[in-house]
Chains A and B, each alone.
Chain A
Amino acid sequence: GENVEQHPSTLSVQEGDSAVIKCTYSDSASNYFPWYKQELGKGPQLIIDIRSNVGEKKDQRIAVTLNKTAKHFSLHITETQPEDSAVYFCAASKGPMGAGGGADGLTFGKGTHLIIQP
């Protein structure tokens, strides 16, 4: 089955600096890569996603890049703010949008605890 590795496990950056979180996946059939933000005591919230036919996607201060050949994808957050502090999870799936559960559904990384230092 799919295996998703995520690094680093903890990332501390100064407010205003950029943060980069990286993930690798094992199954070349995976084609959908979402990123979730989870605040303490809350559920994961989808913040951005990318499909395998696209190399990069940007939404304001957040961007995701995908390298299918190397099987890795990254989350980039620019001009970080205190409210960006949270745990971020990457995921990969073979289903078009991550639904469907099981072997075709979402496989998550272990998460990155992002700390924004004021």
Chain B
Amino acid sequence: NAGVMQNPRHLVRRRGQEARLRCSPMKGHSHVYWYRQLPEEGLKFMVYLQKENIIDESGMPKERFSAEFPKEGPSILRIQQVVRGDSAAYFCASSIDRDDTIYFGEGSWLTVV
């Protein structure tokens, strides 16, 4: 039973480019969460999605960041016009239900140069 799959694992982007991070939840899981981890910091919640719906995006920056979880395919976290401060590890997690244990993926490390 594969875990939460994230790709790419490492991504380098120049300032102003776009970054797209993908997440496939565990089999049977329809709830997806994105967290960001800055160096020497804990994980900070960004957004919570179910299939085709954004449930809670209270942790998302107001500009340049967006997320989706389409009916088919992985969840996508999109960062437009990246800046150096976007450099971080982005973790996806999934759960079977809202009130169930969440499991994290291995993360995507974004470096903006």
Instruction: Please report A residues at the B interface, Cβ cutoff 8 Å.
Output: 4, 6, 36, 41-46, 49, 89, 91, 95-103, 105-111
Pairs of residues from A and B, 9 with the lowest C-beta to C-beta distance, nearest first: A101-B48, A108-B42, A102-B56, A43-B104, A99-B95, A96-B99, A43-B106, A101-B56, A108-B43
Residues of B within 8 A of A109 (CB): 42
Instruction: Please report B residues at the A interface, Cβ cutoff 8 Å.
Output: 4, 6, 31, 33, 40-45, 47-48, 55-56, 58-59, 91, 95, 97-107, 109
Q: How distant is the Cα of A81 from the Cα of B109 in the complex, in angstroms?
A: 28
Q: Are A99 and B107 in contact (CB under 8 A)?
A: no
Q: Are A43 and B107 in contact (CB under 8 A)?
A: yes
Residues of A within 8 A of B43 (CB): 44, 89, 106, 108
Residues of B within 8 A of A41 (CB): 106-107, 109
Given contacts A102-B59, A111-B40, A111-B41, could you give 11 more A-B pairs where the C-beta distance is less than 8 Å? A41-B106, A95-B99, A97-B102, A99-B102, A101-B33, A101-B47, A103-B58, A105-B45, A107-B45, A110-B41, A110-B42
Report the nearest B residue to A108, measured CB to CB: B42
Q: How far is the CB of B24 from chain A (nearest CB, A)?
A: 14
Q: Are A100 and B106 in contact (CB under 8 A)?
A: no
A selection of 5 A-B contacts at a CB cut-off of 8 Å is A42-B106, A91-B42, A97-B102, A102-B58, A106-B102
Residues of A within 8 A of B55 (CB): 101
Report the nearest B residue to A44, measured CB to CB: B104
Q: How distant is the Cα of A91 from the Cα of B101 in the complex, in angstroms?
A: 13
Determine which of A43, A97, A105 lies in contact with B91 in the assembled complex, contact meaning CB atoms within 8 Å. A43
Residues of B within 8 A of A103 (CB): 58
Residues of B within 8 A of A106 (CB): 43, 45, 102
Q: Are B104 and A99 in contact (CB under 8 A)?
A: no
